[in-house]
Amino acid sequence: MKNAVGREIPDALLTNGREVYQGKNYMDGKYIQKASPRTRRCEKPVDTKVVASLVEALKQCGAKDGMTFSFHHHLRDGDYVVNQVMAAAIDELGLKDLTIAATSLGSAHDPIADYIEEGKVIGIQTSGIRGRMGEVVSAGKLKTPAIIRSHGGRPRAIEAGEVHIDIAFIAAPTSDCMGNCRGIGGKSNCGSMGYAMSDAKYADHVVVVTDCLVPFPNMPASVEAIDVDAVVVVDSIGNPKKIASAAARISQNPRDLMMAENVAKVIASTPYFKEGFSFQTGVGGPSLAANLFLEQYMDERGIKMGWAIGGICGPMVEMLKKGKVGKVIDVQDFDLDAVNSINQTPNHFEMSASQYANPANKGAFVNSLDFVVLAALEIDTGFNVNVLTGSDGVLRGAPGGHPDTAAGSKCCIIVTPLVRGRMATVCEHVVTVTTPGDCVDVLVTDYGIAVNPLRPDLIECLDKAGIPHVTIEELKDKAYSLVGRPDDLEWEDKVVAILEARDGTILDVVRKIKPYDPNKAE
Amino acid sequence: MIPRPRPERFRLRRTMMFMNAQKPGLIKDAYIYGCDSIMLDLEDAVAENQKDAARFSLYHALKTIDYGDTEVIVRINGLDTPHWQEDIRVCVAGGADGIRIAKCESAQDVKTVEAAVEAAEEEFGVEKGRTLLMAALESPKGILNAYEICAASDRMFGVAISGGDFRKCMQTTPQPDGVDMLFARGQMLLAARAAGIQCFDTVFTNLDDQAGFEAEVLQNKAMGFDGKSLINPKQIRFVHQVFAPTEKEIIQAEKILRAYKEQSAAGVGVFTVDGKMIDIAFIPGAERTLRLARACGMYEGDLV
Amino acid sequence: MEILKPAMAGTLESSDAQVTVEPGTDGIQLTLSSSVMNQYGRQIKATVLETLERLGVNNAQVTVVDKGALDCTLKARVECAVFRSCGQSAANIPWGGAVR
């Protein structure tokens, strides 16, 4: 069945009330029955919940074949916990048919690809998938299609009971013996632990994994002892160098700077750019550099930013300290400046993924967002964005909060170079739709700006400000004139991943790619 | 294949940005940053054993990439190398707008290049005289012979000093006040103006020293340069800002040109604008101001 | 042109391609790898073969390691490798003739 972004969704996937994507805000006003976990009572006082090993913890939580384990990705590419837990479950306990439900997965988790190939891991639910895992899933080696969700879509699915977590593993930079966790104070600090919060509340069992046990009580706790079954102390939960970079530096690349400046110009031309406006930006080169130019426009107009959300890094913390932004609220931190600031600098707060972006709750921050500046792997002439699959059809990205912030914000700006090497970023049809075009408002490239025709009001703003813009078709034509029109990818029927829209409908599917072999006669 | 319009000998050249002709990622779209001219480099940026490869890249870049209004100039290897003749052939065959003669020391150097360019135009069926020339002065001898170099050919549109080599010859280094090249810059400017061609300053290579760069650009403008060579797109904006005319200059130029049109139609040669005496000698300057203003997006009228 | 000795042109940098030609006897033996194979493999192959044909190269082993080069770069690299293999890359290139 074809959905609202023109993607053919196999009927076989449309079971148990699953629907295809119908457009923005389709589920608004509907009622849901929230799921609840089945948890063990810990009525009798104990001195400690620390157990000897991951295996002990798994046994205590009744780990068995077919279970779903959840993880969060604050340790980013430095994470050791996913691999440690899966090795304990599979290599030591001999478990199989396991599903990993992670907030995101990256190349740190390459070893999991082996468990997929061996058939020990049969399901993956995640926002991001990269590296070897992306390759084996793309090659059709995972037994069930991977389910890709946005950061807001995941807590929605958990609360609706669509994902049932048997055991949640919380990678905690510090924990006390009862399981009160914080993202700071240890040797592998990550700052915010926002993505782990829904997991801890909705999982049947919760195991904290830490490399820094601190005296009770570890306060204020991001994940609270009231939800924790067991605490495991390991040598190291991650590589600090890869958890948070020293400091996210603003790009010096002239192309990035040129695009960033145009992003700021567009923002400053809209009526939303006024005292107290709200803002989120990615950490990619041009997105982050937009901060710099935006600050100049704020000074010129004599206005301040009300609040900023997101994954946060140094430049935004700097603006908070200078008093140019009122409050910063993050679900994740990307560099040490942000890690060391959260809950320390006045007005720098932590939030859960649900608070951040869940479309089914009653007050997610994204819904009050004025501007979001985001990157893209591809964007097509319908303004549909792909941040999941490479233009070769292989899984190597993450929707993250992209679809959530795009849908919630008043003005969503995508910033990307027109081509990368020989890949046309602006194209006729994206490989996979991860953010639907009805949520995307402006595209800024190094070859020009295009505004979504659904937003005549913004077109008028740009015209008034004298900012030149063209149609997205013109940008696509320019891209193809540079790199040539790409051949259509060839696919097999097998679906390797389901791309779930943030509201739970199916936005797109990724099929198994048929690679082109130049030595085969055609 | 992208046909390029006939090059204009005198056009706006505030910024000329150097690009290694051997780097595909760089040359494919250097024009997006809005410099007036790009300078594809076959000389210093290209290793000795890659000179051949750079020519093949350059040829196809010139033939396939739509540089739009951006002027495309090629810096060829010096006349003391085995490369310059083939460099000229590829420039002319590919349709480059102009050639920058490296290490030019005499009028004879210009004439030598001119002869080779003419031969190449003949060989490749290119309109005779299409390919423009500019000279880079890189030695004391070049500076001393600046006037004869500037006046050596009708193809010459400009002359530039190349600071790196020149300072080495002079046993000096860049100074904050520009005193190291003050005389050379002055001598070259005199020669260029006397010969009626344009004059460009050297590159500023320390990208971390924005204040030093800005000081040098301001001095360039004050000395009367037409523009500056650049090594990074981020330098473009400031040069364009500095070389932009002021609002007052634009209004004055408009008044002069409008009055000139009216008065000359009535047969009057000398007249006054705002109490100042104006004659035909003021006209080229006023036209240049308005052309510059148009390029800077500050003038939309039809006087130029 | 006849490939006389092995020769190479280009780099493995992004947006470039490294082309190696070696003498051969059995037509064109092309080994192609590319970072954009699924979308551009056919076009790259066609460009390389057309360029070789224009240069009159009938027998050669050709290896192309493509890193997302545009067609104009691919042509330039193939031509340079071929002219180098014949020791003729330095001067008197037939610009606009066999090279176009």
Question: What is the model's pLDDT at position B1?
Answer: 63
Average the pLDDT over each of A385-394, B61-70, B293-302 and give the range with the smallest value: B293-302
Asked if A447 lies within 8 A of B28 by C-beta distance, the reply is no
Architecture of the domain defined by A254-483:
3-Layer(aba) Sandwich (3.40)
Read out DSSP for B190-215? Answer: HHHHHHT-EEEE-----TT-HHHHHH
The answer to whether position C35 is within a domain reads: yes
Question: What is the model's pLDDT at position A261?
Answer: 94
Cβ atoms of B199 and B223 within 8 Å: the answer is: no
Asked if B32 lies within 8 A of A257 by C-beta distance, the reply is no
C67 and chain B: CB distance < 8 Å anywhere? no
B85 and chain C: CB distance < 8 Å anywhere? yes
Domain residues of chain A, as ranges? 46-243, 254-483
C29 and chain A: CB distance < 8 Å anywhere? no
- Give the one of C41, C68, C71 whose C-beta lies nearest to A518's C-beta: C41
The alpha carbon dihedral of B96, B100, B102, B108 has a sign of positive
pLDDT surpasses 70 at A318 = yes
In percent, how much of chain A has pLDDT > 70? 99
How close B135 gets to chain A, by Cα (Å)? 29
Cβ atoms of A174 and A223 within 8 Å: the answer is: no
Nearest residue of chain C to residue B126 (CA atoms): C96
Q: How does DSSP classify residue B4?
A: P
Q: Within chain C, which residues score under 50 in pLDDT?
A: none
Cβ atoms of A327 and A336 within 8 Å: the answer is: no
Nearest residue of chain B to residue C96 (CA atoms): B93
The answer to whether position C41 is within a domain reads: yes
pLDDT surpasses 80 at A301 = yes
Distances (CA, A) of A387 to A154, A157, A405, A422, C37: 17, 21, 14, 17, 20
Asked if A257 lies within 8 A of B33 by C-beta distance, the reply is no
Asked if C95 lies within 8 A of B85 by C-beta distance, the reply is no
C25 and chain A: CB distance < 8 Å anywhere? no
pLDDT tens digit sequence for A361-378 = 999 999 999 999 999 999
Distance separating alpha carbons of residues A217 and A69, to the nearest angstrom: 27
Distance separating alpha carbons of residues B293 and B304, to the nearest angstrom: 10
Q: Where in the sequence is the domain holding C52, given as residue range(s)?
A: 7-85
pLDDT tens digit sequence for A8-47 = 999 999 998 899 999 999 999 999 999 999 999 999 999 9
Nearest residue of chain C to residue A486 (CA atoms): C39
Distance separating alpha carbons of residues B52 and B71, to the nearest angstrom: 23
pLDDT tens digit sequence for A338-356 = 999 998 899 999 999 999 9
Q: Is the pTM of this model over 0.90?
A: yes
Nearest residue of chain C to residue B48 (CA atoms): C90
CATH code of the region A46-243: 3.40.1080.10
A257 and chain B: CB distance < 8 Å anywhere? yes
Asked if C38 lies within 8 A of A518 by C-beta distance, the reply is no
* A chain contacts of residue B32, beta-carbon cutoff 8 Å: 255, 258, 446-447
- Give the one of A423, A487, A518 whose C-beta lies nearest to C68's C-beta: A423
Given pLDDT bands bounded at 50, 70 and 90, which one contains residue A146?
very high
Distance separating alpha carbons of residues C49 and C32, to the nearest angstrom: 11
The answer to whether position C54 is within a domain reads: yes
The answer to whether position C92 is within a domain reads: no
How close B53 gets to chain C, by Cα (Å)? 6
Cβ atoms of C17 and C69 within 8 Å: the answer is: yes
Residue A210 zone, left/alpha/beta (φ > 0; ψ -120 to 50; rest): beta
pLDDT surpasses 90 at A61 = yes
Distance separating alpha carbons of residues A495 and A497, to the nearest angstrom: 6
B66 and chain C: CB distance < 8 Å anywhere? no
Distance separating alpha carbons of residues A374 and A400, to the nearest angstrom: 11
Distance separating alpha carbons of residues B126 and A518, to the nearest angstrom: 40
A299-324 average pLDDT score? 95
Are domains A46-243 and A254-483 of this chain identical in fold? Answer: yes
Question: What is the model's pLDDT at position A172?
Answer: 98
Cβ atoms of A221 and A184 within 8 Å: the answer is: no
Question: What is the model's pLDDT at position A53?
Answer: 97
Angle at A325 between CA A323 and CA A327, to 5 degrees: 110
A312-330 average pLDDT score? 95
> What is the three-state SS of A161-183?
CCCCCCEEEEEECEECCCCCEEC
Per-residue burial over B206-225, b = 16 or more CB atoms within 10 Å of its CB, e = otherwise: eeeeeeebbebbebbbeeeb
Dig out the tokens for A291 from the structure. Answer: 């901060």
Given pLDDT bands bounded at 50, 70 and 90, which one contains residue A306?
very high
Question: What is the model's pLDDT at position A332?
Answer: 95
How close B65 gets to chain A, by Cα (Å)? 8
Question: What is the model's pLDDT at position A165?
Answer: 98
How close C35 gets to chain A, by Cα (Å)? 9
| Interface mutation vs chain A, best among C36, C37, C63, most A CBs within 10 Å | C36
CATH number of the domain to which C19 belongs: 3.30.230.10
pLDDT tens digit sequence for A62-95 = 999 999 999 999 999 999 999 999 999 999 999 9
The answer to whether position C13 is within a domain reads: yes
pLDDT surpasses 80 at A1 = yes
Which are the contacts of B221, defined by CB distance < 8 A and separation ≥ 6? B242, B243
3-class state of residue C24 by DSSP: coil
C12 and chain A: CB distance < 8 Å anywhere? no
Question: What is the model's pLDDT at position A67?
Answer: 98
B19 and chain C: CB distance < 8 Å anywhere? no
The CB density around residue A388, as the number of other CB atoms within 10 Å, is: 31
* B chain contacts of residue A252, beta-carbon cutoff 8 Å: 234
B24 and chain C: CB distance < 8 Å anywhere? yes
pLDDT surpasses 80 at A129 = yes
In percent, how much of chain A has pLDDT > 90? 92
Cβ atoms of C4 and C23 within 8 Å: the answer is: yes
Q: Which of A130, A132, A126 is nearest to A101 (CA)?
A: A126
Question: What is the model's pLDDT at position A300?
Answer: 96
Structural domain count of chain C: 1
The CB density around residue A95, as the number of other CB atoms within 10 Å, is: 20
The answer to whether position C2 is within a domain reads: no
CA A504 to chain centre: 16
Distance separating alpha carbons of residues B94 and B42, to the nearest angstrom: 14
Task: Find residue A412's DSSP bridge partners.
Answer: A372
Cβ atoms of A440 and A455 within 8 Å: the answer is: no
* Torsion angles phi and psi, residue A475, rounded to 5: -65, -40
CA A459 to chain centre: 29
Task: Find residue A209's DSSP bridge partners.
Answer: A171, A232
- Give the one of A257, A446, A482 whose C-beta lies nearest to B234's C-beta: A257
Dig out the tokens for C80 from the structure. Answer: 């340079």
Question: What is the model's pLDDT at position A522?
Answer: 59
Asked if C73 lies within 8 A of B52 by C-beta distance, the reply is no
Given pLDDT bands bounded at 50, 70 and 90, which one contains residue A483?
very high
- Give the one of C32, C42, C69 whose C-beta lies nearest to A422's C-beta: C69
The answer to whether position C1 is within a domain reads: no
pLDDT surpasses 80 at A287 = yes
Read out DSSP for B236-282? Answer: HHHHHHHHSPPHHHHHHHHHHHHHHHHHHHTT---EEETTEEE-GGG
3-class state of residue C93 by DSSP: coil
| Interface mutation vs chain C, best among B1, B28, B60, most C CBs within 10 Å | B60
The alpha carbon dihedral of B91, B92, B94, B95 has a sign of positive
* B chain contacts of residue C19, beta-carbon cutoff 8 Å: none
A215-232 average pLDDT score? 97
The answer to whether position C98 is within a domain reads: no
